[in-house]
Copies of this chain bind each other. A is one copy, B any other.
Amino acid sequence: MAHPNPIRFGIIGCAEIARKLARAIGLAPNADIIAVGSRSKDKARRFIADNGLSVDYVTAYGSYEEVLEDSRVDAVYLPLPTSLHVRWATAAAGKGKHVLLEKPTALCVSDLDRILEACEAGGVQFMDSTMWMHHPRTGKMTELLADPTRFGQLRTVNSIFSFSANPDFLQNDIRVKPDLDALGSLGDAGWYCIRSILWAADYQLPSKAIALHNPVFNPAGVLLSCSSSLIWDDGKLATFHCSFLEHLTMEVTAVGSRGTLHLSDFVIPFEENSANFSFASDSGFNELVTGWQRLPSQHVVATDLPQEARMVSEFARMVGEIKNSGSKPVSKWPEITRKTQLVVDAVKTSIDKGFVPVDVVG
């Protein structure tokens, strides 16, 4: 059933990831695409055609500015290279457009702050495009992690996101270009790892980041692989590893005083319609210590919409509240973004300074 008053999106930039989001906006019941802007009108037209959008309904623009000038556009999705985020996210906010921004959101937190300040000044909703946050599995896991009886206090998290980039990616992808996405694997795969750790820690910032040895840089100085530890003053410890140079792996293990959570496809679930995780609580050994008691159980969480469509829908819902009911933008999402970026920055600094402990200062 079509929403009576869907939020109208403009997509700014026709990156590969925009195809997935175009589909997601189409699937979200409360959102519509009405404009696509590219540096060339032909490219915008091709995107519209290639992604099954209606040429009668979706306007192709040959510049990003024109999308922002289109008064029908409520919100923009920005899949641009990170180095362009400040310019275009602040421009969008300045035009009163709500901002759904690809990750990494900025090259550093001071850049992000310019974006967030512009959104606040413009009274628009900001959210980063971290899709897995919006899967109902995440909500179910959040409940379990918050359960003092079943999970207890968080003690340790390990998160891994790696994939094996092909030679073309390692040569040409924006994520290996110092002028486009200077954070490399840390800003890309590492963003998800850091977010998963913050999520498991109920968004309590670590006090320090201490990067691990053996990062890999490309000849241009962009990170292709790196790892870090994060520590909290209460004794919690997290580690993560993010890489373009290894087999596809997407793991989170969170260990609490009373429970353990594990999943192997946290960023992009194996399948679109349902996702699993494993949870164990109060496990122990049998009397002779030859087997376990209370084995981990597998939880399956179905979803009617793919996680990226749920993300769009949640974003459009918030935008609708602002547009139609005069609500204020929800501060939760920019706050989570900023914490993620702060940790990204601290890890990068720790690597640059030779793996020294770096304070995570909010």
- Give residues in A with beta carbon < 8 Å to B: 17, 19-20, 23, 152, 155-156, 158, 160, 162-164, 208, 210, 212-214, 216, 225, 227, 229, 231-232, 235-237, 239, 241, 243, 245-249, 251, 253, 255-260, 262, 264-265, 268-272, 278, 280-285, 288-292, 295-296, 306, 308, 355, 357
Q: With a CB–CB cut-off of 8 A, which chain B residues contact A253?
A: 158, 160, 249, 251
Q: With a CB–CB cut-off of 8 A, which chain B residues contact A246?
A: 155-156, 255-257
One of B212, B245, B308 near A210 (C-beta < 8 A): B212
What is the count of identical protomers in the complex?
Answer: 2
A310 → B minimal CB distance (Å) = 12
A258-B241 Cα distance, complex, nearest whole Å: 16
Q: A212-B239, A216-B235, A243-B155 are in contact. Are A248 and B292 (CB under 8 A)?
A: yes
Instruction: Contact check, B156 vs A243: say whether CB atoms are below 8 A apart.
Output: yes
A248 → B minimal CB distance (Å) = 4
Instruction: Contact check, B237 vs A247: say whether CB atoms are below 8 A apart.
Output: no
Task: Give me 18 A-to-B residue pairs in the complex whose CB atoms sit less than 8 angstroms apart, sorted by A's number.
Answer: A17-B289, A20-B290, A155-B245, A160-B255, A208-B213, A210-B355, A212-B239, A214-B232, A214-B236, A227-B237, A239-B241, A246-B257, A247-B280, A249-B260, A270-B291, A271-B291, A271-B292, A290-B306
Q: List 7 tightest A-B contacts by C-beta distance, closest first.
A: A248-B283, A249-B260, A155-B246, A214-B237, A213-B231, A270-B292, A246-B255
Instruction: Contact check, B268 vs A289: say whether CB atoms are below 8 A apart.
Output: yes
A20-B290 Cα distance, complex, nearest whole Å: 8
Q: With a CB–CB cut-off of 8 A, which chain B residues contact A271?
A: 291-292
Instruction: Contact check, B239 vs A259: say whether CB atoms are below 8 A apart.
Output: no
Q: With a CB–CB cut-off of 8 A, which chain B residues contact A269?
A: 291
A326 → B minimal CB distance (Å) = 35
Q: With a CB–CB cut-off of 8 A, which chain B residues contact A210?
A: 212-213, 355
Q: A19-B288, A255-B246, A268-B285 are in contact. Are A231 and B214 (CB under 8 A)?
A: yes
Instruction: Contact check, A247 vs B239: say whether CB atoms are below 8 A apart.
Output: no
* Most chain B CB within a 10 A radius of its CB, from A164, A248, A256, A283: A248
Instruction: Contact check, B260 vs A247: say whether CB atoms are below 8 A apart.
Output: yes
Q: A231-B213, A231-B214, A255-B160 are in contact. Are A290 and B272 (CB under 8 A)?
A: yes
A17-B208 Cα distance, complex, nearest whole Å: 40
Q: With a CB–CB cut-off of 8 A, which chain B residues contact A237?
A: 212-214, 227, 241
